[in-house]
Structure 1
Amino acid sequence: MREDELELLLRPEVMEEIGRNADEDPAAYAMRNAGRTDIPVRAIAEQIACRKKAAKKLPRLSTRPLLYTSRALEQASAERVAGYRASQMSGQRAIDLSGGLGIDSSFLAGAFARIDFVERDPLLCRLASHTMQVLERKNVAIQCGDAFAVLDSIPSGILDWIFVDPDRRESGRRRVGLSESSPDVVSGHNELIHKAPGVCIKASPALELSGLKRELPSLSSIIVVSLDRQCRESMLILLKGTAQEKEPERKAVCLHSSGIGEYEVSGREGVERRVTAEPGPCFFEPDPAIIKAGLSAEVAEEFGLEFLNHSVDYLTGGPSEAVFPGRAFRLVALTPYKPKLFRRFLKEHQIFGASIQRRDFPLSPEELRRLYRLKESSSRFLFFSRNAAGEATVYFCLSLRPEGEEAP
């Protein structure tokens, strides 16, 4: 989207055109209206495409007449995650240093008396202004400029919280490290914690969590958040006065679009794993947020489960009355992984198709599927891993839920 297109998109008749064609295929719309000069056809087609994506990411907000750019929508927080994050902060005044479309600021506006929205892209500032107008967020002040320059202009003691979502895609390359993103929160750590007692950094779910304390001395806790079993982000919480030698607490938060069956677990690294050489009748894989946060041992203890080996987050035990935070299966059989033995195992159990999963196993699912000519299956599962002795092992499982039933 260009700024001149935004002017046209904001016209009432054009907004109505977008709404009328929300279910249309964007390419078909553009082709059918090619040559028209009374409306911005290309920009409307882009908005139709964005609204389809927004319907999944922002199920409630997408019903409102918001405007997007493709890149900013991709970087925006999922609605459920943004709502959870905002619930972890409160006070009189906060600043969002990475404004984007304004999705995060719109949720933070419900937790603070005032939000300072900062974005260096003038187009996004105008889109955010439209967002706040549509959502009636009257306590959000929009400022266009450099994040740390704006922050520097605010006296210390004014802000309660700082939120920053560093851009990890500068120059077209995806980056993971905090110091490689913009703004650089590692070099800016001291200024951040000087300006506010609390700082929340949205980090990539791929960010390595160990060693973060060396980069961010005020790091108090790490919250890994998943939505519908997809790891979405790691929230890094910095608190003024946090002891430099104190290791941060870790928390895993498993959210669901439905709001049903959500789960949280907290702990610290280094909890001993109980490993068994005798698998029970059930097989469990914790939610990705739990695995990422390194909290599978806490979950195993809570549900009375044991690990199948020391290095992999596969658990085993009896059926649980409570809803397990992750995937649960009935363990049908297992076999050492040796090609001839495994072929016989497939024949004995009449396994012609399966969903193939692997952890700490040399062959990829694609290689295994090709090697053994296995079709896909939504009800049968083969987990390739290692047993308590470190030997390559295959676990054949069936879902504990009836086929077609969605987990919460």
Structure 2
Amino acid sequence: MNSLKLLLETEIQEFINTNIENDVSKLALHKNDFSTDYISIINQIVSKQKAKKKLPTWFKTPNILYPSKVSVEQTSSEKAAKYKASLISGEKLIDLSGGFGIDDYYFSTVFQKVVHCEINPELSFIVKHNFEQLGKKNIECILGESSKTLKNLNQKFSWIYIDPSRRNDIKGKVFLLKDCEPNVPELLPFYFNYSNSILIKTAPLLDIQSGLLELQFVKRIHIIAIENEVKELLWEIENHYKDDITITSINIEKEATQIVTTSLSEDYMASFSVPKKYLYEPNTSILKSGNFNAISQLYKIDKLHQHSHLYTSEEKIDFPGRSFKIDTIIPFQKKEIKTHLQNTKMNITTRNFPIKVDEIRKKYKIKDGGTIFAFFTTDIQNNKIVLLCSKI
């Protein structure tokens, strides 16, 4: 790991920090005046640039080492890691897929001890070094294959945490947990020898119903979105759990966090209506949950159509998503469209509509942007309509 240690030399760290805002493609053309590989230095700058918004604690801490740009892109953000640490706590947690260690840093605030397992020697070295710079003394970094580490330690843990990675040979196929490393569905009985509580992180690509078919004893599912982009799914598993499964949809914004919890076993009933005064579009985490009828029942608002997933009300409510005032309702007919939409500027969204956004823009010469929000959708009477709205 001598090459990594060389990156910590004072003049190299000064070069990285001095050029953190600069164009790395231009920096790459400069002559290498240092004692180590110049590409490695450039890669540190690229990865640190990626960390600025996503990992502010790491970014502002001196002498942090970074893995590849891809590793930084794939790691949890601090915002997501903080949320995870609010869900569980206990004496000891073992992370079987440690990675860059963002989650473990926050788990260490709610557990007495955290064990970070990593099979990649370079990444394990980087993470151990970084935890020292961050002042974390209750995290132990162990290099090696996670199942062997678990067996060798032979301890009981309050929680096992794991983020299985999708194998490269399944590109283009349906995303299933059995196609990941490690194979969590197959290894669950083995994991239960060491803990009764398991938290699994998966990519948002995983279908919730598919995950439920593969996993046993699921207690809760958390869908985490940051600024309305779903980043990860969390699966809480408790050995022998058989009761109701809840789904929590979280959207973490700069100002506030919106949380909606629904049940998989409850038979929610939606009400339906033609568009009223206000229109609501749910956050992406709610859309991912698939519990569309629950939103109608819980918030006492009407759906426009069983498959439109847009909601309406006469009185404005505080809604976990975007809210609009409906200014005009236009039938999707040639004459009406030409009068109201052609050669205009507006933000277009389609929900349960046969034509894609790009096709609509091209066909009617509509520019993107402005203050008008146009929803192309289908109403309860199966009419194709356009709702021209003002954002609230």
User: Which band: TM-score by shorter chain?
Assistant: over 0.9
How far apart are residue 37 of structure 1 and its match?
A: 4.4
Match of 1:282 in 2: 278
2:363 to 371, 390, 406: 371
Matches of 2:321 and 2:52, distance apart in 1: 25
Asked if 1:91 corresponds to 2:90, the answer is yes
Asked if 1:45 corresponds to 2:42, the answer is yes
Residue identity over aligned pairs, in percent, reads 25
Match of 1:120 in 2: 119
Match of 2:13 in 1: 15
Tell me the C-alpha RMSD between the 2 structures.
2.0
Match of 2:212 in 1: 213
Secondary structure of the equivalent of 2:185? Answer: coil
Asked if 1:389 corresponds to 2:384, the answer is no
Q: Quick one: which amino acid aligns to residue 29 of structure 1? A: L
- Gap regions ≥5 residues in structure 2: none
Residue 275 of structure 1 contacts residue 388 of structure 1 at CA under 8 Å; is this kept in 2? yes
TM-score calculated relative to the size of structure 1: 0.89
Secondary structure of the equivalent of 1:205? Answer: coil
Matches of 2:355 and 2:152, distance apart in 1: 55
Where does 1:14-33 land on structure 2 (aligned, <5 Å)?
A: 14-31=12-29, 33=30
Is the alpha carbon distance of 1:164 and 1:56 closer, same or farther for their aligned partners in structure 2, counting shifts above 3 Å? same
Secondary structure of the equivalent of 1:238? Answer: strand
Match of 1:255 in 2: 252
Match of 1:152 in 2: 151
How far apart are residue 222 of structure 1 and its match?
A: 0.7
Q: Which runs of 4+ in 1 moved over 6 A?
A: none
How far apart are residue 6 of structure 1 and its match?
A: 1.6
Residue 3 of structure 2 contacts residue 36 of structure 2 at CA under 8 Å; is this kept in 1? no
Bigger shift: residues 366-375 or 246-255:
246-255
Deviations 1:31-81 (A, max 9, x none): 2x3243435322222221212211121133321132222121011001111
Match of 1:334 in 2: 329
How far apart are residue 228 of structure 1 and its match?
A: 0.9
Secondary structure of the equivalent of 1:374? Answer: coil
Query: How many residues align structurally?
Result: 387
Deviations 1:269-292 (A, max 9, x none): 34121111x211111101111121
Residue 335 of structure 1 contacts residue 342 of structure 1 at CA under 8 Å; is this kept in 2? yes
Matches of 2:329 and 2:375, distance apart in 1: 9
Secondary structure of the equivalent of 1:195? Answer: coil
How far apart are residue 211 of structure 1 and its match?
A: 4.2
Matches of 1:231 and 1:5, distance apart in 2: 37
How far apart are residue 86 of structure 1 and its match?
A: 1.2
How far apart are residue 127 of structure 1 and its match?
A: 1.0
Secondary structure of the equivalent of 1:223? Answer: strand
Asked if 1:298 corresponds to 2:294, the answer is yes
Q: Quick one: which amino acid aligns to residue 87 of structure 1? A: S
TM-score calculated relative to the size of structure 2: 0.92
How far apart are residue 153 of structure 1 and its match?
A: 2.3
Secondary structure of the equivalent of 2:387? Answer: strand
Where does 1:192-211 land on structure 2 (aligned, <5 Å)?
A: 192-211=191-210
Asked if 1:355 corresponds to 2:347, the answer is yes
How far apart are residue 363 of structure 1 and its match?
A: 1.8
- Gap regions ≥5 residues in structure 1: 401-408
Q: Quick one: which amino acid aligns to residue 57 of structure 2? A: R
Matches of 2:386 and 2:276, distance apart in 1: 15
Is the alpha carbon distance of 1:171 and 1:138 closer, same or farther for their aligned partners in structure 2, counting shifts above 3 Å? farther
Residue 193 of structure 1 contacts residue 238 of structure 1 at CA under 8 Å; is this kept in 2? no
Deviations 1:225-257 (A, max 9, x none): 1111111111100012202xx45211111212x
